[in-house]
A and B are shown apart, each in its own frame.
Chain A
Amino acid sequence: MLKIRIMRKLWIVLFLLAFTSLEAQDFLDKAQINGSFQVDGQFYQPDDALGITDSLIGGRKLGLNGFGNITYTLGKFSAGMRYEAFLTPLAGFDPLQEGNGFPYLWASYQTDFVGVTVGNFYEQFGNGLILRSYEEWTLGYDNSINGMRVILRPSAGITIKGVYGTQRYFWQKYENGNRGIVRGLDAEVDLNQTIKGWESAAVRVLVGASGVSKYQKDNDPLYNLPENVGAWAGRVNLSAGKFNFATEYAYKINDPSAINNFIYHEGQAVLSSLSYSQPGLGVVLQLKRVDNFSFKSDRRVNGNAVDINFIPPINRTHSYSLAARYPYATQPNGEMGLQFQLNYKIPKGTALGGKYGTGIAVNFSQVNDIVRNPINDTTLVNTSGTLGYTSDFFKVSDSVFFRDFNIEIEKKINNKWKAVLQYMNLHYDIATIEGHAGEPAVKAHIGVLDLTHKLTSRKSLRMELQGLFTEQDEGDWAAAMLEYAIAPRWFFNVADQYNYGHPDADKRNHYYTVSMGYLKESTRVALTYGRQSEGVVCVGGVCRQVPASSGLTITVSTNF
Chain B
Amino acid sequence: MKFKSLSLILFVLIAGIFNSCDKIDPPYTTQGGGGGGEPEEVIQKVLLEDYTGHKCVNCPAAAKLASDLKEVYGDQLIILAVHTGVFAEPENPPFDLDLRTSYGDQWREQYNIIGFPSGLINRRIEQGSAILSSGKWGEKVMDIIENIQPQASIDIQTVFDDQSRNLELIVNSKFLGSTNETYFLQVLLTEDSIQGAQRNNNAAVGDVPTIEDYYHRHVLRQDINGLNGEIINEGEAIVVNEVYTHTYSLTLNAAYKAQHCSVIAFLYRISDNEILQVEEKHILD
Contact = CB atoms under 8 A, between A and B. Distances in A.
A172 interface: yes
B112 interface: yes
B22 A228 contact: yes
Given A224-B29, A380-B204, A211 B14 contact: yes
A391 to B, nearest CB: 14
Interface string B18-61: 10111110111110100000000000000000000000011001
A282 to B, nearest CB: 35
A183 B127 contact: no
Contacts of A215: 20
Contacts of A220: 138-139, 142
B134 A223 contact: no
A432 B209 CA distance: 10
Nearest to A431: B209
A256 B14 CA distance: 23
Contacts of B26: 264
Contacts of A185: 10, 13-14, 17
Contacts of A382: 202-204
Contacts of A223: 28-30, 138
A172 B204 contact: no
A171 B14 contact: no
A400 to B, nearest CB: 16
Interface stretch (A73-81, A296-304, A516-524): A296-304
A258 interface: yes
B158 to A, nearest CB: 30
Interface string B170-208: 000000000000000000000000000001111110001
Interface stretch (B64-72, B228-236, B238-246): B64-72
Nearest to A380: B204
B163 interface: no
B22, B134, B139 — which one has the most chain A CB atoms within 10 A of its CB?
B22
B3 A303 contact: no
Interface string B102-145: 00000001001011000000000001110001111011011100
Contact of A226 (B21, B73, B201): B21
B153 to A, nearest CB: 24
A224 B202 contact: no
Contact of B135 (A95, A264, A301): A301
Contacts of B109: 58
Given A227-B22, A230-B18, A300 B136 contact: yes
A258 B134 CA distance: 7
A221 interface: yes
A117 B61 CA distance: 42
A158 B1 CA distance: 13
A383 B30 contact: no
A361 B64 CA distance: 49
A261 B61 contact: yes
Contacts of B32: 221
Interface in A349-406: 380-386
A167 B49 CA distance: 29
Contact of A229 (B22, B115, B143, B209): B22
Given A380-B203, A438-B210, A154 B6 contact: yes
B18 A211 contact: yes
Contacts of B203: 380-382
B212 to A, nearest CB: 12
B133 A300 contact: yes
A155 interface: yes
Contacts of A111: none
Given A185-B13, A221-B141, A437-B210, A302 B22 contact: no
B23 A226 contact: yes
A95 B17 contact: no
Contacts of B22: 226-229, 253
Interface in A57-110: 58, 95-96, 99
B18 A213 contact: yes
B91 to A, nearest CB: 11
B76 to A, nearest CB: 11
A171 B126 CA distance: 12
Nearest to B112: A95
A158 B133 contact: no
Contacts of A155: 2-3
Contact of A221 (B69, B112, B114): B69
B68 A222 contact: yes
A375 to B, nearest CB: 10
Nearest to A217: B139
Contact of B58 (A158, A213, A383, A435): A435
Nearest to B77: A221
A249 interface: no
A294 to B, nearest CB: 12
A178 interface: yes
A222 B30 contact: yes
A220 B127 CA distance: 20
Contacts of A386: 28
Contacts of A385: 28-29
A158 B24 contact: no
Given A211-B14, A264-B28, A435 B204 contact: no
Contacts of B69: 221-222
A209 interface: yes
Nearest to B95: A438
Contacts of B133: 258, 300-303
A322 to B, nearest CB: 25
B10 A219 contact: no
A300 B139 contact: yes
Interface string A255-278: 011100100100000000000000
Interface of A: 58, 95-96, 99, 154-155, 158, 160, 162, 171-173, 178, 183-185, 187, 189, 194, 209, 211-213, 215, 219-230, 232, 253-254, 256-258, 261, 264, 299-303, 380-386, 431-432, 435, 437-438
21 contacts: A58-B109, A95-B112, A155-B3, A171-B128, A173-B127, A185-B17, A194-B3, A211-B14, A220-B142, A221-B73, A222-B65, A228-B21, A228-B22, A230-B21, A253-B22, A264-B24, A302-B133, A382-B204, A383-B204, A385-B28, A437-B200
- Pairs of residues from A and B, 10 with the lowest C-beta to C-beta distance, nearest first: A258-B135, A300-B135, A437-B209, A226-B22, A230-B21, A438-B209, A382-B204, A385-B29, A437-B57, A221-B142
